[in-house]
Amino acid sequence: MSTTTFSPSAAFQETAVASPALFDAARSDYEGFWADQARRLLTWEKDFTEVLDWSDAPVARWFADGTLNACVNAVDRHVDSGHGERIALHFEPESGEAESYTYAQLKDLVCQVANALVELGVQTGDRVAIYLPMGVPAVVSMLACARIGAPHSVVFGGFSADALRSRIEDAGARLVITSDGQYRGGKTLPLKSAVDAALADADIEDVRVLVHRRTGMDVAFQEGRDIWWHDIVPAQSTSHDAVVVEAEHPLFILYTSGTTGKPKGVVHTTGGYLTQAAFTHLNVFDVHPESDVYWCTADVGWITGHTYVTYGPLVNGVTQVLYEGTPATPHKGRWWEIVEKYGVTILYTAPTAIRTCMKWGPQFPREYDLTSLRVLGTVGEPINPEAWLWYYREIGGERCPIVDTWWQTETGAIMISPLPGLTTLKPGSAQQPLPGVDVRIVDTLGDPIEDETPGLLVVATPWPSMLRGIWGDPERFAETYWSRFDGLYFAGDGARFDEDGDIWLLGRVDDVMNVSGHRLSTAEIESALVAHDAVAEAAVVGASDDTTGQAVVAFVILREAYVEQADEEGEGGDLVAALREHVRSEIGPIAKPRDILIVPELPKTRSGKIMRRLLRDVAEHREVGDVTTLADSSVMDLISKGLGS
């Protein structure tokens, strides 16, 4: 295979943060390596004596007898070490006045919010749901929770009231922090009303609601339950004694889609998570905190926003940009305007965004001065070489290394990535595991593959930021990740080595889809569809899509009473539109199917399992593959005929 590669420039090599010595250190003493990172990158209240306890596998304990506070590490210690005047956050709203916060100002605000949480009765160990748009209150709320040792559960502002309710219930949240509404894509959208709807039906008592005013839109207020942020936060003291917790104290829960209909509450703890967040942020993005301006475009509702907006960058004391809006609001050059305005040096985004910009054309970025950029990153899905090269040329001016970072909500931090200044880059490949990360590729029996045969990605040794479990469901944790291969963490991704030993990710091997870098479960969308009156049965697949990577395509069997209506309306009729809307309201806009195809039957094996592989063939307009295991092989003819193909 002839792939163009890009060697690091000599200038870059001289100043690179990462060094080959890191790999040597990790190879010669794995635990000692991570202990060094933990001590070097974090401030501990009490040092630890034990590094890793794997005796209770698959639950790892890292640095367990050490104590610390995550917020102190992200904020206070920069003020204490004389960097209080450094900008922590440049907030760029979708429209209107930008705001900047120094580390000292951030500390004052976080302390006020922490004091407000305490006044609202939140105690160490209580869970707090955060349902806020991208912005300073979201980051500050997370840090305030961390400051009092209350695990946060951030729910992406694009999720529906139903999705929010199930997350509030599952975590048993005591408080929900939200805003009246949010600005998105030039529109003003409500948020608080979804909290009201979620709590109206929630099987939970004594939840308080703290409401930040973002848009000024009218909201309903429930006496005794709801309180305005501006009525409680500014009145608080700007000092607060952070609650020192053990390294294994849960820092947050973050829900992600799995192979079943019910999202999993992935639990991350404090010491190990912060160690790997800070280590990877520093080395993968080649961070020089005194001079860099870093911008990660992810929303804090996703793991990328947790690790590479809130925790990693702030623990490393960097200046970063937070942008509220979409890339095209009010014009298609908006992102590049922001890069120019703040002199962004490090940009981390998703392949789907790059493909969208590529489609819009290079004239938009070319209008702006992007020469401040030094390092570019991508995450969330494989980046196709064509998009990689466009990013490299049009955005990075052929001088910026691109780090294609592979990781997951569960891994907590980056696991596989090139390192700027060290790695000769290969477009489309995430390349090498980071130092201290033991990734392998195995066959279906769990035996290691060393040649170029495709296999399954596993992690063979515990890593500091690994998930510690699924909230309230230890069995599901063991079953999902640890039951397939003895002693190996099964990531759910296919992968292969190339002839140089570089890793190429091949996509999910389970029923999880990846749409615009967002993880969606086929089962979750199927159960939303069958909850609609018109639907008897549904099967959902992820079909490849030029912009979003994969797109949701649903095959639906209607109940008798609706068949006639659908026949009359044909494709694009009201019923199909109503079903797409239904998924949107049950889960959120990101889950809305691109296509809904009404079919008379679904292809099933003799044991009744839907053969998604065949549906994917139909959705991707391919010739349908091997049908010999179908219970009724004429079904595919029926489907194809029904769809007029």
Residue numbers of the site for ligand PRX (CB under 6 A)?
A: 256, 303-304, 379-382, 404-409, 430, 491-493, 505, 508, 514, 519
Sign of CA dihedral 591, 592, 596, 600: positive
CB atoms within 10 A of CB 201: 10
**Cα–Cα distance measured from residue 438 to residue 447, given in angstroms and rounded to the nearest whole number:** 15
Q: How far is the CB of 254 from ligand PRX (least distance, A)?
A: 9
CB atoms within 10 A of CB 12: 18
For ligand PRX, the closer of residues 143 and 430 by Cβ is 430
Q: Report in angstroms the alpha-carbon separations of 66 from 47, 50, 51, 144, 340.
A: 5, 8, 9, 21, 42
Helix (H, G, I), strand (E, B) or coil at 123: coil
For ligand PRX, the closer of residues 37 and 429 by Cβ is 429
CB 133 within 8 A of CB 183: yes
Peptide bond into 137 cis (omega under 30): no
For ligand PRX, the closer of residues 297 and 304 by Cβ is 304
For ligand PRX, the closer of residues 66 and 377 by Cβ is 377
Helix (H, G, I), strand (E, B) or coil at 446: coil
Tokens of residue 530, six digits: 């069958």
Strands of the 87-92 sheet, one edge to the other:
99-102, 87-92, 319-323, 293-296, 346-349, 375-379, 402-405
Peptide bond into 8 cis (omega under 30): no
For ligand PRX, the closer of residues 333 and 380 by Cβ is 380
Question: Which string of b and e fits 66-102 if b means at least 16 CB within 10 Å?
Answer: bbbbbbbbbbbbbbeeebbebbbbbbbbbeeeeeebb
For ligand PRX, the closer of residues 430 and 528 by Cβ is 430
> Which amino acid type is present at position 91?
F
Q: How far is the CB of 387 from ligand PRX (least distance, A)?
A: 12
Tokens of residue 630, six digits: 């179908």
Q: How far is the CB of 255 from ligand PRX (least distance, A)?
A: 11
Q: How far is the CB of 160 from ligand PRX (least distance, A)?
A: 18
Helix (H, G, I), strand (E, B) or coil at 53: strand
For ligand PRX, the closer of residues 114 and 350 by Cβ is 350
DSSP strand pairing (489-497 vs 503-508): antiparallel
Residues 6 or more apart whose Cβ sits within 8 Å of residue 371: 397
For ligand PRX, the closer of residues 210 and 540 by Cβ is 540
Q: How far is the CB of 296 from ligand PRX (least distance, A)?
A: 11
For ligand PRX, the closer of residues 174 and 519 by Cβ is 519
Largest Cα–Cα distance of the chain, in whole Å? 74
Q: How far is the CB of 42 from ligand PRX (least distance, A)?
A: 22
For ligand PRX, the closer of residues 210 and 296 by Cβ is 296
**Cα–Cα distance measured from residue 554 to residue 539, given in angstroms and rounded to the nearest whole number:** 6
Q: How far is the CB of 211 from ligand PRX (least distance, A)?
A: 28
- Give the Cα-Cα-Cα angle 265, 270, 273 (nearest 5 degrees): 80
**Cα–Cα distance measured from residue 66 to residue 442, given in angstroms and rounded to the nearest whole number:** 35
Phi, psi of 440 (to 5 degrees): -135, 165
Type and span of the H or E element at 78: helix 77-78
Tokens of residue 69, six digits: 């506070």
H helices present in 396-502, as ranges: 474-477
For ligand PRX, the closer of residues 44 and 156 by Cβ is 156
For ligand PRX, the closer of residues 101 and 471 by Cβ is 471
